[in-house]
């Protein structure tokens, strides 16, 4: 244990010569007691190795669609904007952080990238694949709690949010199709769409399909997610919210 605030590497969107990050991500990390530092897409393995060594954890943020080539499929109707350079950078960083057994928190696109890199596949467009699904791209403010998710008993997610049901915001049109080996589903929507996954072997590798960064100042479950992540980055042994060891 250390009193030093952990350094959290935060991925970004890159477009037309600019690097973008919604401020809610960095604010949520600060609120939870961590220090965020923003990383652009890059292609230098030595720099990436130094980054992994320096950082205490990795936050994979939301954004554009995942390239289906990453999980061995061809593009399907409904596939949105792709950012191959970002995919490549985040894939390399994710593999390196997991190899170092450093905590990873994956949000929305981040969950999808995590599942794809670990060997799973994705639904490329929910509305086309599952026309009777809920509305997963809400037309409401980002802090609006749109639909409910069921949280699985005995999961890391359950130990953090401390509830069997939570209401969440939602801004995605892709989702987990085939779960990656070595992971388990920890939350689902009532239509069966996967809303959370976690590693069965890593000390803290957790993904959620919603956007808790937009809710961190108003929603108890949302801030607990960031607090648990930051706490896991601070401790050598993985610990969930409220001192729950794994």
Has residue 166 been placed in a domain?
Answer: yes
Q: How confident is the model at residue 243 (pLDDT cuts 50, 70, 90)?
A: very low
User: Would you say 224 and 160 are in contact if contact means Cβ atoms under 8 Å apart?
Assistant: yes
Has residue 129 been placed in a domain?
Answer: yes
108 is annotated as an active-site residue: yes
Has residue 160 been placed in a domain?
Answer: yes
> What pLDDT shows up at residue 236?
62
For residue range 213-230, list pLDDT tens digits in order. 999 999 999 999 999 999
pTM of the model as a whole: 0.93
173 is annotated as an active-site residue: no
Backbone phi, then psi, for 50, in 5-degree steps? -65, -40
* Domain CATH code at residue 217: 3.40.50.880
150 is annotated as an active-site residue: no
239-111-201-28 Cα dihedral, nearest 10 degrees? -10
10 Å CB burial of residue 216 (0-12, 13-18, 19+) is: buried
**How far is residue 11's CA from residue 70's CA, in Å, rounded to a whole number?**
18
Has residue 1 been placed in a domain?
Answer: no
Q: What total of structural domains would you count in the chain? A: 1
Cα four-point dihedral sign 105, 8, 217, 231: positive
Catalytic residue among 48, 90, 198, 213: 213
> What pLDDT shows up at residue 2?
58
> How crowded is the C-beta side of 221, counted as CA atoms within 13 Å?
21
**How far is residue 137's CA from residue 173's CA, in Å, rounded to a whole number?**
6
- Listed residue (150, 223, 139, 132) closest to 186, CA to CA: 150
Has residue 231 been placed in a domain?
Answer: yes
Domain of 11?
A: 7-243
Catalytic residue among 90, 211, 227, 233: 211
Take residue 110 and report the two structure tokens written for it: 């981040």
For residue range 38-69, list pLDDT tens digits in order. 998 877 888 999 999 999 999 999 999 999 99
Q: What is the mean pLDDT of residues 137-157?
A: 97
Chain centroid offset of residue 4 CA: 24
Is residue 126's pLDDT more than 50? yes
Catalytic residue among 48, 90, 108, 198: 108
């Amino acid at each position: 244990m250390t009193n030093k605030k952990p350094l959290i590497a935060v991925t970004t969107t890159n477009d037309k010569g600019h690097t973008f990050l919604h401020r809610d991500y960095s604010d949520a990390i600060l609120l939870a007691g961590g220090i965020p530092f923003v990383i652009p897409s890059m292609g230098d393995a030595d720099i990436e190795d130094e980054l992994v060594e320096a950082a205490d954890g990795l936050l994979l943020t939301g954004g554009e669609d995942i390239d289906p080539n990453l999980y061995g499929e061809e593009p399907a109707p409904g596939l949105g904007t792709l950012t191959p350079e970002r995919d490549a950078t985040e894939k390399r960083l994710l593999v390196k952080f997991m190899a170092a057994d450093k905590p990873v928190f994956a949000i929305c696109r981040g969950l999808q990238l995590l599942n794809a890199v670990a060997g799973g596949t994705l639904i490329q467009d929910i509305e086309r694949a599952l026309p009777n699904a809920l509305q997963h791209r809400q037309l409401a403010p980002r802090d609006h709690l749109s639909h409910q998710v069921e949280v699985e008993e005995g999961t890391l997610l359950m130990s953090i949010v401390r509830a069997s049901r939570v209401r969440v915001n939602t801004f995605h049109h892709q989702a987990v199709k085939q779960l990656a080996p070595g992971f388990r589903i920890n939350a689902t929507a009532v239509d069966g769409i996967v809303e959370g996954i976690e590693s069965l072997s890593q000390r803290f590798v957790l993904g959620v399909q919603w956007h808790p960064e937009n809710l961190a100042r108003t929603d108890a479950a949302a801030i607990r997610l960031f607090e648990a992540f930051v706490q896991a980055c601070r401790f050598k042994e993985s610990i969930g919210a409220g001192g729950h060891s794994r």
